[in-house]
Amino acid sequence: MSFDFAEYHNLRTDIQRRKSANVVPVIGRDVVFRETTETTMVDAKEGVKRGANSGSVFIAGQQLSGRGRRGRSFVSAPDAGLWSTFYFTVEEPREALLVSLVAALAISDAFKELFELIVDIKWPNDIQVAGKKISGILPDLVSTDSTLEMYLGIGINIKTPSDLPEEVSAIATSIEKLGLEPPSRERLLANLSFFLETRLMQAKIDSANLILDWKSQLVTLGKRIRLATPGEDVTGLAVDVTAVGELVLELEDGSRSSYMAGDVHTLRIED
């Protein structure tokens, strides 16, 4: 479970030169790797306390206590995926609101580049292929007196462990399970870092088209869903998203409401 820093930096520099006019990379410029860790999110926050630069990414071969949304455990088996947390600062609160969208599109861009594969986005931040999750996103914003610090956790399933619990296997997939050639972590991270930087810039200067790109891959729209929010469960038809990625539901009484967070459960017609 090693990481080849020289190979990674060559790949990261190459894609930057080919696609971005030799601009010096910022996102993914510095990489911190641990073979085994509790979570890369904790590693990132501790790294920042020690002086890590904005744009740094913290990765691990295995996470022992990986966490997803709402504190759920996230399976991060040894050498089976890219387990990462990116650290960077943002200038405006609105940019922070768009980070999940940015990450989803960056993952999508990386899959197109590497595999010519179009993925689906399930609101708010799951990446799916044929209805099964292949990647997850966990943003954590920390506001200080002078900066807005973003910690962006991204997990991508490269291989499917043989001992994966059946209940997880039923809803998850991996690059290998799709019959694709698994890339090295170095190549996958180089592509992800580049496209994350590209989409972050788009969020800053052209957020309207960022939303349109994200919306075009959002499979939640047009479906009748039950949304489990921190306050209550609501049922309705997912009809739109707002300019900051909130999900707009048409409720049973015909009114419309927007939601920033929640778990989506697609309902059958008879439900």
Q: Do the bridges between strand 132-143 and strand 256-259 make them parallel or antiparallel, or are there none, so unpaired?
A: unpaired
Q: What is the mean pLDDT of residues 146-163?
A: 92
Find out whether 240 and 212 touch, Cβ atoms under 8 Å: no
Q: What is the mean pLDDT of the chain?
A: 92
Q: What is the pTM of this model?
A: 0.93
Residues with Cβ within 8 Å of 76's Cβ and at least 6 positions away in sequence, in order, are: 60, 62, 63, 64, 66, 83, 155
The confidence score (pLDDT) of residue 163 equals: 78
Omega of the bond leading into 124 within 30 degrees of 0 (cis): yes
The confidence score (pLDDT) of residue 179 equals: 96
Among 68-72, 124-128, 144-148, 214-218, the least confident range: 68-72
Sign of CA dihedral 155, 159, 164, 170: positive
The confidence score (pLDDT) of residue 75 equals: 57
Which DSSP string corresponds to 149-192? EEEEEEEEE-S--TT--HHHHTTB--TTTTTPPPPPHHHHHHHH
- Distance, in Å, from the CA atom of 12 to the CA atom of 117, rounded to the nearest integer, reads 21
Q: Which residue has the higher pLDDT, 238 or 17?
A: 238
Confidence bin at 128 (pLDDT 50/70/90)? very high
The confidence score (pLDDT) of residue 181 equals: 96
Per this entry, what is the length of the chain?
271
Q: Quick check: 32 pLDDT over 60?
A: yes
